Chains A and B, each alone.
Chain A
Amino acid sequence: MDRESWLALAQNLDWTPSYVSEAELFPPAISGEPWLAHEDWADWAEPFRTTFAEYVRTQSQKEEGLAALRDALGGPTHVAALDPGWSAGVKLHSAILALAEFAAVVGNLRAARFGRHSAWRATSLLGALDELRHTQLPLALMHDRVRRDAQADFTHRLYHTNGWVSIAARHAFDELLLGSDPIEFAIATHFVFETGFTNLQFVGLAELAEQVGDTLFRSILTSIQTDEARHAQVGRPVLEVIVARDRARAQYLVDKWFWRNWQLFAPVTGFTMDYLTPVRRRGPSFKEFVEEWVLDQYLSSLDELGLERPWYWDSFVRALDHYHHMTYAAAYTYRASVWFDMVLPGPEERAWLARKYPASWPSYEPIWDRISSAWRRTDPGVEFAAHATAIPCFCALCQMVLAHGTPEHNAAIVVDREPRKVVFCSEPCRWIYETEPQRYGEHKDVVARVLAGEAPANLLEFLTRYSGLSVQTWGKDAFGGAYSWLDRETR
């Protein structure tokens, strides 16, 4: 049998159930809403059409290539040559993604059983294998570094702690990858996330990795992206079916998940692109990457599908100039609460940021002047002289720091929802929460945990006992506050 004949046969294995009803075989609660009869899914197809034998052969070749590179470049000499800021960005990326990819195994396997077309189920099985590989690659990369860098251990540990980043990322990924049905998973993960935001992670960051000389990390990112590009193809045909049968549901899911993905990945990617990568190795800014890789492609995809741009689009475009700058300044002053080091932007970095963000950067200059002056008054390495101690506040939906809007006007909203008040960082987060209150209402943010006595209010206790950090692992200034441009005050 030739390949095309085999695929035509192997991708269409659905049958008419006789012992149970179709709704019992594919229960709506787990197969997803809207629940449609098989006839509505009968024309479902994805363009990649890979056989299992082809899949194994291709993945094996990729793995062999990466193993050779890891042998050649994974040693301590190569790692020690990397810029400290860039290494911090690799730790941020690896810890956020590694076990999230493992959660995506579960999402794919659920679709491999409860997806409504046999081709969808078959390709989801390959997607699950992909995600297992995407878990193992960063774990293997960072495992080689743990002996010399205890922060690298957070690639595996992060989601087993209660640090605020862990809580926020778990809140998003548990829903996206573990708790969603195959329809929501396909639209949220394969369409919104993998056709938009993974480009930032795996294409944009790969370009930067090449610029800083981190060939091994670039190769890992590029290898992962080739898988993402394949299983991302599941999203669009699922979305097309839902648009045709329940357009409002389709619009809600894409709008909800675009915002949720943005909330998490603006800091994750924006920090590395605009702050942690050495300025002389940077290319486009985070905003320019988003405009190139997310905005144009995403809007044209929505248009092709007959969907509207999200109602909050203007706010999102404004946030491109602010959100990751707000969160970076906040996180830098609470860097002991994360597992990666952070860079204090100096004159050269700030001139670059001013060129890239002419409309918004003037609001951030005085903030970095102020933080720099705290370092001037102390000695290198005295981290807590330039570190905040007040309790930060977090959004009831995304669990991120209340850092939307601008320094002149924070966009947080407090809403009285009996029996308690809840706070949101932004209107889209409020909209998502209030659309599905039964889904989000019981979750406690960090402040609620502190006020309920479940988490310590004392910063050191919060870092060590609750967040799983220690003096060896908590984030510090990547250069210990010792910068050639930073003249220390005479004391």
Chain B
Amino acid sequence: MLVPLYGFLEGDTMGVLVLAHADSTLAEVVDKLRASASLRVDTRGAFDLVAGGQVLDPHATVASAGLTALDRVDARRRDGSA
């Protein structure tokens, strides 16, 4: 099942729609966000996916992390990663 998410990558100037699937891992969601923002942001380095103020497990899936359609997710640079 498709789960569209409002995605924001740290350092970017806009939000983009991330078309994830319920069984996508959150690492895959981060990769989609990186790809969407890569024209504007150097996305090398590690990013955490954050929702509701919590850093999410990258191995979790969209469904198991409790994300539902049109939730906000943020890809935040992991401390010390650049």
A414/B17 in contact, CB under 8 A: no
A402/B14 in contact, CB under 8 A: yes
A393/B14 in contact, CB under 8 A: yes
1/0 per residue A361-404: CB within 8 Å of B? 00010110011001000000000001110111100000001110
CB of A363 to closest CB in B, whole Å: 8
A371/B40 in contact, CB under 8 A: yes
Q: Which residue of B lies closest to A334 (CB)?
A: B14
Checking B4, B15, B36, B41 against A402 with a beta-carbon cut-off of 8 angstroms, the contacting residue is B15
Chain B residues positioned under 8 Å from A371 (CB to CB): 39-40
A391/B10 in contact, CB under 8 A: no
Chain A residues positioned under 8 Å from B74 (CB to CB): 410
Checking B11, B15, B19, B69 against A392 with a beta-carbon cut-off of 8 angstroms, the contacting residue is B15
Bound-complex Cα distance A366 to B70 (A): 29
Q: List the count of A-B residue pairs having beta carbons below 8 Å apart.
A: 93
Whether A370 touches B42, Cβ cut-off 8 Å, given contacts A393-B14, A412-B8, is yes
CB of A366 to closest CB in B, whole Å: 7
Chain A residues positioned under 8 Å from B41 (CB to CB): 366-367, 370
A412/B39 in contact, CB under 8 A: no
Chain A residues positioned under 8 Å from B15 (CB to CB): 392-393, 401-403, 410, 412, 423
Chain B 18-75 interface residues, beta-carbon cutoff 8 Å to A: 19, 35-37, 39-42, 69-72, 74
Chain A residues positioned under 8 Å from B12 (CB to CB): 367, 407, 410
Whether A451 touches B72, Cβ cut-off 8 Å, given contacts A371-B39, A403-B14, is no
Q: Which residue of B lies closest to A408 (CB)?
A: B10
Chain A 190-249 interface residues, beta-carbon cutoff 8 Å to B: none
Chain A residues positioned under 8 Å from B36 (CB to CB): 388, 390
Interface membership of B81, Cβ < 8 A: no
Bound-complex Cα distance A344 to B4 (A): 31
Checking A366, A392, A410 against B17 with a beta-carbon cut-off of 8 angstroms, the contacting residue is A392
Interface membership of A421, Cβ < 8 A: yes
B13/A367 in contact, CB under 8 A: yes
Interface membership of A447, Cβ < 8 A: yes
B13/A329 in contact, CB under 8 A: yes
Chain A residues positioned under 8 Å from B11 (CB to CB): 366-367, 407-408
The dominant DSSP class at the A interface is: mixed
Checking B14, B37, B42 against A366 with a beta-carbon cut-off of 8 angstroms, the contacting residue is B42
Interface residues on A, range: 35 or more
Bound-complex Cα distance A159 to B43 (A): 37
Interface membership of A155, Cβ < 8 A: no
Q: Which residue of A lies closest to B72 (CB)?
A: A414
Q: Which residue of B lies closest to A414 (CB)?
A: B72
1/0 per residue A435-461: CB within 8 Å of B? 000000000000100110000000000
Chain B residues positioned under 8 Å from A410 (CB to CB): 8, 12, 14-15, 74
A393/B17 in contact, CB under 8 A: yes
Bound-complex Cα distance A302 to B74 (A): 39
1/0 per residue A325-369: CB within 8 Å of B? 111011001000000000000000000000000000000101100
Checking B14, B35, B70 against A401 with a beta-carbon cut-off of 8 angstroms, the contacting residue is B14
A412/B10 in contact, CB under 8 A: no
The residue among B8, B40, B41 with the most chain A CB atoms within 10 A of its own CB is B40
Bound-complex Cα distance A392 to B4 (A): 12
Chain A 252-275 interface residues, beta-carbon cutoff 8 Å to B: none
A333/B6 in contact, CB under 8 A: no
B13/A414 in contact, CB under 8 A: no
Checking B6, B14, B19, B40 against A414 with a beta-carbon cut-off of 8 angstroms, the contacting residue is B6
Chain B residues positioned under 8 Å from A367 (CB to CB): 11-13, 40-41
Bound-complex Cα distance A364 to B13 (A): 9
CB of A355 to closest CB in B, whole Å: 21
Interface membership of A420, Cβ < 8 A: yes
A390/B16 in contact, CB under 8 A: yes
Bound-complex Cα distance A326 to B41 (A): 13
A421/B70 in contact, CB under 8 A: yes
Bound-complex Cα distance A156 to B36 (A): 33
Q: Which residue of B lies closest to A393 (CB)?
A: B15
Bound-complex Cα distance A413 to B14 (A): 13
Q: Which residue of A lies closest to B32 (CB)?
A: A390
Whether A330 touches B6, Cβ cut-off 8 Å, given contacts A387-B39, A390-B36, A421-B71, is no
Bound-complex Cα distance A401 to B39 (A): 17
Checking A370, A392, A409, A414 against B71 with a beta-carbon cut-off of 8 angstroms, the contacting residue is A414
Bound-complex Cα distance A175 to B4 (A): 30
Other CB < 8 Å A-B pairs besides A403-B13, A407-B11, 4 of them? A393-B6, A393-B15, A409-B10, A420-B70
Closest 4 CB pairs of A and B: A402-B15, A390-B36, A330-B14, A391-B17
Chain A residues within 8 Å of B, Cβ to Cβ: 325-327, 329-330, 333, 364, 366-367, 370-371, 374, 386-388, 390-393, 401-403, 407-410, 412-414, 420-421, 423, 447, 450-451
24 pairs from A and B in contact (CB 8 Å cutoff): A327-B14, A329-B40, A330-B14, A364-B13, A366-B42, A367-B12, A367-B13, A370-B39, A390-B37, A391-B19, A392-B14, A392-B17, A402-B8, A407-B11, A407-B12, A407-B13, A408-B10, A409-B10, A410-B12, A412-B8, A414-B71, A423-B72, A447-B17, A451-B4
